């Protein structure tokens, strides 16, 4: 059973304009199975499962202007208290807090640097049922226009620990890292906002990147070994509808 600590990533949801195409792409790439909620109030919300455990989800766009993207949710003991603290620290609260049936309580925000994220207070649904194994979520990556401001924000609101690094400080809770923060440089077009990307673990980064390309995705970066101690092999991918995400495999000593 996955232990989800308040303040840590608890869910990854894709917003897409073509749900069947998204289900086919991620089903072939990660071996996920898709189950669409029959309740019309959820508008076709579809949960991806890996070996029967919730792994991620895909939902229709809430409005035509919304970008196709992955959205990370962070667990909270109280969504209302977290939203109040986040707003005080400079965040924008876009939706909520609001009830999601008997599943939990939710809000959509953006941090002071513009990166969207959600906060989830679990009731019947806790979030990830599987993490840190092939074809499941394993890392969160923030690309931001103001790295110092972002680190200060999340440390203050969620109590994150920070492992300092000149290029890529890492963050986590209870001495467990679950993400990193990267400053966006000139390689990012100016119209690209700060954003979170989920990274999913795979058995073979090169093979998975090749599969993604065969299925119509673009490999934006890698596959490449991260040049730091025990750094994984990674690739960053843009799916056929335009959402970016990462894949990685932990380094193994030969």
Cβ contacts of residue 195 below 8 Å, gap of 6+? 69, 115, 116, 142, 143, 244
Cα separation, 147 vs 157, whole angstroms: 16
For residue 133, cis peptide bond before it (omega within 30 degrees of 0): no
Cβ contacts of residue 254 below 8 Å, gap of 6+? none
Position 89 pLDDT exceeds 70? yes
Position 254 pLDDT exceeds 60? no
Q: Pick the closest to residue 248 from 154, 109, 141, 162 (CA basis).
A: 141
Residue 40 DSSP label: G
Q: Between residues 41 and 70, which one has the greater pLDDT? A: 70
CATH fold match for the domains 9-122 and 136-249: yes
Question: Over the chain, what is the mean pLDDT?
Answer: 93
Position 252 pLDDT exceeds 80? no
Position 207 pLDDT exceeds 90? yes
Position 210 pLDDT exceeds 70? yes
pLDDT in tens, 230-240: 789 999 999 99
Burial class (CB in 10 A: 0-12, 13-18, 19+), 217: buried
pLDDT for 230 equals 75
CATH class of 136-249: alpha beta
Position 28 pLDDT exceeds 90? yes
Rounded to two decimals, the pTM is 0.94
Position 27 pLDDT exceeds 90? yes
Mean pLDDT for 101-122 is 96
Position 96 pLDDT exceeds 90? no
pLDDT for 253 equals 59
Position 195 pLDDT exceeds 70? yes
What are the domain boundaries of the chain?
9-122, 136-249
Q: Which fold has domain 9-122?
A: 2,3-Dihydroxybiphenyl 1,2-Dioxygenase; domain 1 (3.10.180)
Mean pLDDT for 112-141 is 97
């Amino acid at each position: 059973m996955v232990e989800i600590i308040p303040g840590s990533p608890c869910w990854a949801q894709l917003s897409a304009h073509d749900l069947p195409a998204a289900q086919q792409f991620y089903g072939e790439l990660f071996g996920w199975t898709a189950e669409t909620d029959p309740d019309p109030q959820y508008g076709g919300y579809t949960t991806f499962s890996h070996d029967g455990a919730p792994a991620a989800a895909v939902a229709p766009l809430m409005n035509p202007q919304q970008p196709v993207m992955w959205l990370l949710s962070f667990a909270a003991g109280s969504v209302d208290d977290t939203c109040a603290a986040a707003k005080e620290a400079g965040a924008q609260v876009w939706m909520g807090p609001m009830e999601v049936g008997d599943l939990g309580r939710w809000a959509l925000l953006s941090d002071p640097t513009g990166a969207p994220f959600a906060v989830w207070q679990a009731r019947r649904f806790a979030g990830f049922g599987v993490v840190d194994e092939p074809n499941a979520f394993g890392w969160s990556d923030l690309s931001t226009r103001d790295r110092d401001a972002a680190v200060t924000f999340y440390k203050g609101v969620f109590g994150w620990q920070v492992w300092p690094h000149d290029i890529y400080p890492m963050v986590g809770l209870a001495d467990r890292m679950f993400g990193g923060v990267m400053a966006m440089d000139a390689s990012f077009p100016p119209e690209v906002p700060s954003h979170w990307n989920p990274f999913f673990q795979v058995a073979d980064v090169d093979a998975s990147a090749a599969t993604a390309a065969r299925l119509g995705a673009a490999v934006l970066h890698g596959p490449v070994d991260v040049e730091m101690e025990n750094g994984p092999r990674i690739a960053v991918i843009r799916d056929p509808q335009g959402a970016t995400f990462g894949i990685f495999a932990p380094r193994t000593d030969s």
